[in-house]
Amino acid sequence: MNRIQYTQTLYIDGVETPFEYEDGSMEGIRNDRANGFQRVFIMGHDASGRCCRVSSISLPLGMFDHGGTCKIDGKEYKFRRFRLPREW
């Protein structure tokens, strides 16, 4: 059985931004999901150029299933799911 694979992309104010899903405590993850949110960490670079987590935000859980847009604190967050090319 073939599973459809998607690549997920987060845009902040129209700029594609690398992110990671929360991998913290199971209790924190369960509480966020029970309340309908998913916490993600925004990736960036520190002063020495090392890639690291620079901030985090909780976004509505439905965005991660279907894609969508959300405005929080004057910023627009878009989450898009693109189907990967078929491998032969």
Q: Is this prediction's pTM over 0.85?
A: no
Q: How far apart are CA 79 and CA 64, in angstroms?
A: 7
Overall number of domains in the chain: 1
Centroid of chain to Cα 65: 11
Give the number of residues written for the chain.
Answer: 88
Q: Does residue 50 lie within any of the structural domains?
A: yes
Mean pLDDT of 57-85: 84
Domain ranges, residue 71: 7-82
Predicted confidence at residue 1, as pLDDT, reads 46
Q: Does residue 42 lie within any of the structural domains?
A: yes
Predicted confidence at residue 32, as pLDDT, reads 75
The pLDDT tens digits for 21-37 are 887 666 767 777 788 88
**Beta strand pairing status for 19-21 and 15-17?**
unpaired
Q: Does residue 1 lie within any of the structural domains?
A: no
Predicted confidence at residue 75, as pLDDT, reads 92
User: Which neighbouring-strand residues pair with 21?
Assistant: 40
Q: Does residue 34 lie within any of the structural domains?
A: yes
SS3 content of the chain, % helix, strand, coil (to 5): 15, 50, 30
**Is it the case that residue 42 has pLDDT exceeding 80?**
yes
